[in-house]
């Protein structure tokens, strides 16, 4: 698979699914970083898991907020949309 098809697949997912994918990626990167900088203990794994869950929740709520704002903005905009103007 080329990167563009992965990006297209990612964008076709729902917001919660995107947040879960981002959380898994963050967890892998964070755990790998902590593995090379500290001895891997239960506390390090717990810290990595909790920070990944925090990252997922922030990612989800920010995405929902931005999506909601964009929908409200599109509803408020008046006049013909781009591509629908008469020349």
Count up the domains in the chain and report the number: 1
pLDDT score at 85: 57
87 domain residue, yes or no: no
Structural domain contains residue 9: yes
Distance CA(37)–CA(21), nearest Å, equals 24
Q: Note the pLDDT tens digit of each residue in 42-86.
A: 988 899 999 999 999 999 999 999 988 877 777 776 666 666 655
DSSP secondary structure of 19-54:
HHHHHHHHHHHHHHHHHHHS---HHHHHHHHHHHHH
Mean pLDDT, range 24-45, rounded to an integer = 90
Report yes or no on 86 lying in a domain. Answer: no
Confidence of residue 39 (pLDDT cuts 50, 70, 90): confident
Instruction: Note the pLDDT of residue 17.
Output: 94
The verdict on residue 53 lying in a domain is: yes
Structural domain includes residue 28 = yes
Residue 84, domain member (yes or no): no
Residue 21 lies in a domain: yes
> Which structural domain range is residue 68 located in?
3-76
23 lies in a domain?
yes
């Amino acid at each position: 698979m080329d990167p563009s098809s992965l990006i297209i697949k990612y964008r076709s997912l729902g917001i919660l699914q995107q947040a879960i994918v981002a959380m898994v990626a963050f967890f892998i990167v964070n755990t790998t970083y902590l593995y090379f900088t500290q001895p891997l203990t239960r506390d390090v794994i717990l810290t990595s898991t909790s920070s990944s869950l925090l990252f997922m929740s922030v990612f989800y709520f920010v995405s929902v907020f931005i999506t909601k704002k964009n929908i409200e903005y599109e509803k408020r905009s008046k006049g013909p949309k781009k591509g629908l103007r008469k020349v």
